[in-house]
């Protein structure tokens, strides 16, 4: 097993677990909450066959990485990402961030200027700002995040089992994932530190990335499902498409939050096409452009913390 040591905020170094498979252009996958790098197995097994080097890692507090009691803010998380890119001395990197992982990408660009990175993919990402505020009316009310925190503290297994149903779009009439998949998902989730689970939920729900995403200055692909109940598209994907200059924005019709699995073949093809520079759009995708009159006034955004 491979680890590198990351030191943030002058604290004790922690061990971050990673896997590095394949050869070719490097693609670094950043997992979502409350999972770990194993979630990307359906992308790694496909993309490595197309001549791409696929690198996954477990966020601090998750999977096989160390579980510190603190330092789960996005400055520390982006520092861990930088540590990985430096450790492997990567260049011409494509960063793929799912859900919470989109925040690491945005913060990495604002803190480190996007060093070593040539392309970005945001999949069901939490950026630019999840929380509903006066100047972010499409955001999620604080009460929703309070219920998440309360559910984790009260009965984490039961909460996560229920949370996964919305995550993957499971309903009485729709079963896009098997019972075995959901059981394995719960096992992966429960292997995470409860402290990290809580602290990262607070981080992705309260961090304002609106100025951070403005610093993303490389070709960017935004993919989001229009049936995402976990990270609503209007507060996230649509806003990121307005803020990131020249971003390509693809909406998966009917897709839930966990589209990396439910729509894995489509996502894999879009990733390969974007990384390799191809141009294709599926009939079940809607490629959207943001009109000039939909631009956002950025004067009220909070400044990135440095």
Q: Is 175 a catalytic residue?
A: no
Active-site residue identified among 65, 80, 208, 257: 257
Q: Is 227 a catalytic residue?
A: no
Active-site residue identified among 6, 46, 99, 193: 99
SS3 track for the chain: CEEEEECCCCCCCEEEEEEEECCCEEEEEECCCCCCHHHHHHHHHHHHHHCEEEEEECCCCCCCCCCCCCCCCHHHHHHHHHHHHHHCCCCCEEEEEECCHHHHHHHHHHHHCCCCEEEEEEECCCCCCCECECCECCCECHHHHHHHHHHHHHHHHHHHHHHHHHHCCCCCCCCCCCHHHHHHHHHHHHCCCHHHHHHHHHHHHHCCCHHHHCCCCCCEEEEEECCCCCCCCCCCHHHHHHHCCCCEEEEECCCCCCHHHHCHHHHHHHHHHHHHCCCCCCCCEEEECCCHHHCCCCCCCCCCCC
Q: Is 228 a catalytic residue?
A: yes
Active-site residue identified among 58, 80, 228, 263: 228
What are the residue numbers of the active site? 99, 228, 257
């Amino acid at each position: 097993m491979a680890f590198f040591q990351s030191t943030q905020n002058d604290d004790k170094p922690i061990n971050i677990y990673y896997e590095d498979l394949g050869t070719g252009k490097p693609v670094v996958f950043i997992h979502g909450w409350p999972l770990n790098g194993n979630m990307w197995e359906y992308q790694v097994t496909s993309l490595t066959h197309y001549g791409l080097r696929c690198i996954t890692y477990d966020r601090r507090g998750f999977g096989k990485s160390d579980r510190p009691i603190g330092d789960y803010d996005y400055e520390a998380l982006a520092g861990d990402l930088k540590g990985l890119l430096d450790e492997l001395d990567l260049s011409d990197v494509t960063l793929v961030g799912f859900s919470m992982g989109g925040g690491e990408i945005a913060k990495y660009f604002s803190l480190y200027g996007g060093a070593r990175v040539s392309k970005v993919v945001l999949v069901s990402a939490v950026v630019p700002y999840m929380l509903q505020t006066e100047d972010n009316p499409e955001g999620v009310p604080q009460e929703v995040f309070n219920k998440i925190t309360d559910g984790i503290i009260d009965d984490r297994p039961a909460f996560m089992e229920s949370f996964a149903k919305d995550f993957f779009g499971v309903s009485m009439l729709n079963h896009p994932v098997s019972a075995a998949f959901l059981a394995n998902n719960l096992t992966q989730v429960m292997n995470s530190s409860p402290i990290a689970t809580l602290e990262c939920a607070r981080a992705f729900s309260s961090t304002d990335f609106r100025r951070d995403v403005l610093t993303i200055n490389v070709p960017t692909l935004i993919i989001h499902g229009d049936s995402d109940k976990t990270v609503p598209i209007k507060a996230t994907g649509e806003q990121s498409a307005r803020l990131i200059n020249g971003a390509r924005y693809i909406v998966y019709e009917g897709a839930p939050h966990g589209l990396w699995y439910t729509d894995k073949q489509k996502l894999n093809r879009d990733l390969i096409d974007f990384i390799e520079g191809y141009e294709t759009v599926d009939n079940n995708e809607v490629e959207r452009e943001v009109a000039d009159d939909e631009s956002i006034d950025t004067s009220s955004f909070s400044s990135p913390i440095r």
